[in-house]
């Protein structure tokens, strides 16, 4: 169970964690990972956190000493140097909605390209006027797609009570354990509304069975330089 300050995030991370725990092999990429925020959910042989904030990557590497936990200093819209069809599970949560629509499309297309033939792609997208355009790219890449809608009116109302300038994370009351538990209980209401697009603000996309891709490539980064130990440089 994930006791977040936002009920919508508690629901999202509970759904994501349930699916990631079943993927116990290969390479996992946490796209826009910050300081490896989703690392504990990954059960893959290797975890790579990708972010354009070097200080957060350094924090993630410092907190996770294992050799199979690494960072990639790069931008979601410039992943050309990473090999096609090479990653077993790609995850992007709470990030793509922050990008302008044109950059969001580039990022989605790039992340889809990286997924191996038998791999998984999980991403969160806003329900806005550009959703169908973005989904068209995903549908062109995968045969099996499931959409779970979330951030319902119940969660949004709770979050609105505590929000200040769209931010809730450091609120002195919402961050208390009792209120995190209450937020998690509210998040259970998301299961009543997750099949209805019009009741929600975000969507969680689950993709498998990649189209027109039969060969898995090795995820090799030897052609990239190191910023420091266990952090590859994708910025140059």
* Residue 180: inside a domain: no
pLDDT band at residue 212 using 50, 70 and 90 as cut-offs: confident
Percent of the chain surpassing pLDDT 70:
97
* Residue 173: inside a domain: no
- Please give the pLDDT value at position 94: 83
Tens-digit pLDDT profile for residues 84-126 = 999 999 999 988 888 899 999 999 999 999 999 999 999 999 9
Average pLDDT over residues 4-20: 95
Phi–psi pair at 2, nearest 5 degrees = -115, 115
* Residue 196: inside a domain: no
- Please give the pLDDT value at position 236: 72
Alpha-carbon span 130 to 122, nearest angstrom? 18
- Please give the pLDDT value at position 173: 84
For the sheet with 87-92, list strands across it: 142-152, 200-210, 115-126, 87-92, 27-31, 46-51, 69-73, 231-233, 226-228
* Residue 163: inside a domain: no
* Residue 193: inside a domain: no
How high is the mean pLDDT of the chain?
Answer: 93
* Residue 166: inside a domain: no
* Residue 156: inside a domain: no
Whole-number Cα distances in Å, 129 to 77, 135, 214: 21, 11, 34
- Please give the pLDDT value at position 166: 61
Tens-digit pLDDT profile for residues 150-174 = 999 999 999 988 876 666 666 778 8
CATH code for the domain in which residue 116 is found: 3.40.50.150
Tens-digit pLDDT profile for residues 53-74 = 999 999 999 999 999 999 999 9
Question: Is this model's pTM higher than 0.85 or not?
Answer: yes
* Residue 229: inside a domain: yes
Say how many domains are in the chain: 1
Domain limits for position 209: 22-150+202-233
Average pLDDT over residues 193-218: 93
Q: What is the CA angle 152-183-186, rounded to 5?
A: 50
Q: What is the CA angle 14-58-20, rounded to 5?
A: 20
């Amino acid at each position: 169970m994930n006791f977040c300050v936002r009920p919508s995030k508690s629901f999202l991370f509970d759904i994501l964690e349930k699916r990631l725990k079943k993927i116990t092999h290969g390479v996992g990429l946490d796209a826009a990972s910050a300081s490896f925020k989703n690392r504990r959910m990954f059960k893959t042989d290797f975890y790579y956190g990708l972010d354009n904030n070097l200080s957060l990557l350094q924090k993630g590497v410092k907190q996770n000493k294992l050799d199979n936990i690494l960072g990639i200093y790069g931008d979601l819209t410039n992943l050309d140097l990473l090999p096609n069809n090479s990653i077993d599970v790609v995850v992007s949560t709470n990030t793509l909605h922050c990008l302008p629509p044109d950059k969001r499309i580039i990022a989605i297309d790039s992340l889809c390209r990286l997924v191996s033939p038998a791999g998984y792609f999980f991403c969160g997208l806003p329900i806005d006027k550009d959703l169908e355009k973005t989904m068209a790219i995903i549908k062109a890449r995968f045969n099996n797609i499931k959409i779970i809608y979330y951030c319902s009116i119940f969660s949004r109302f709770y979050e609105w009570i505590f929000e200040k300038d769209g931010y809730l994370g450091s609120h002195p009351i919402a961050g208390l354990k009792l209120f995190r538990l209450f937020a998690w209980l509210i998040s259970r209401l998301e299961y009543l509304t997750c099949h209805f697009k019009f009741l929600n603000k975000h969507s969680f996309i689950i993709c498998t069975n990649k189209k027109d891709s039969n060969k898995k490539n090795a995820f090799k980064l030897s052609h990239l330089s190191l910023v420091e130990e266990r952090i590859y440089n994708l910025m140059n």
